[in-house]
Amino acid sequence: MRVLLVEDEPRMAAALRAALTVKHDMVMDHVATLADAELVAGDIGYDAILLDRQLPDGDGLDLVPRLRNKGVTLPIIVITAKGTVPDRVTGLELGADDYLAKPFSLDELIARLRAVMRRPSALNPSRISVGKLSSDGAFRDIRIGGRPFELPRREILVLECLMRRVGRMVPRPVLMEAVFSLDDEIQSNALDSHISRLRRKLAAAQAGVVVNVVRGLGYMLREEL
């Protein structure tokens, strides 16, 4: 699950990064201005946006209708000190999915994030099954024949990305985007290392799937014949 945080307060951003990436194994990108948010929000495959309102270059809420008009349907949760009832109503009317007043508990934020992701309007796909593998599509719960299949975070992200496109070649840039945040320092062979570990584990667990290499282009997951 990849989240875009739009927040200009460094301490708040650091706290959210710790909660989302360390505690809940999500990928998070952070921008601090409306302009940067607008630049990346529609282009990168985010699963949700957390949006502060009082930003240095304007009201974060202005971004919501602009994104909706561009056809961006991903869930947006507004997080702000402006938490009066009229503020909340305005936020929801403009197309935000939820509105959370600061200060809020991180546990509540995570719960709300998961709730908006479960809504049918979210782009997030629901449960996927390939071979004996199944994934709930967003919350890093991968199973083989119904039993939990424990994997490190990045291997889960790679596998979910391949499962969503089973039988099709997934280009390297799509996989890189699913696995690494903009701030990560990425070595060129990092993706290949994750995939080769993943292939060994899938074979050892008799998952009923194989990951094929499409040399120089990407990877493809298919059911084992």
Compute CA distances 11 → 15, 18, 87, 93, 188, whole Å.
Answer: 6, 11, 24, 29, 32
Q: Are 2 and 44 contacting, i.e. CB atoms less than 8 angstroms apart?
A: yes
Helices within 70-152 (DSSP H only): 85-93, 106-118
Cα dihedral 23, 53, 112, 31 in deg (nearest 10)? -40
Nearer to Ca ion (CB atom), residue 28 or residue 122: 28
Site stretch for Ca ion (CB under 5 A), options 2-10, 29-37, 110-118, 187-195: 2-10
Q: Using CB under 5 A, pick the residue from 1, 32, 50, 52 that binds Ca ion.
A: 52
Site membership for Ca ion, residue 54 (CB under 5 A): yes
Size of the site for Ca ion (CB under 5 A): 3
Site membership for Ca ion, residue 8 (CB under 5 A): yes
Q: What is the CA radius of gyration of the chain?
A: 18
Site stretch for Ca ion (CB under 5 A), options 50-58, 108-116, 184-192, 209-217: 50-58
Question: What single-letter amino acid sits at 115?
Answer: A
Site membership for Ca ion, residue 38 (CB under 5 A): no
Nearer to Ca ion (CB atom), residue 21 or residue 54: 54
Site membership for Ca ion, residue 33 (CB under 5 A): no
Residue 49 tokens read as 């946006």
Q: Binding residues for Ca ion, per CB under 5 A?
A: 8, 52, 54
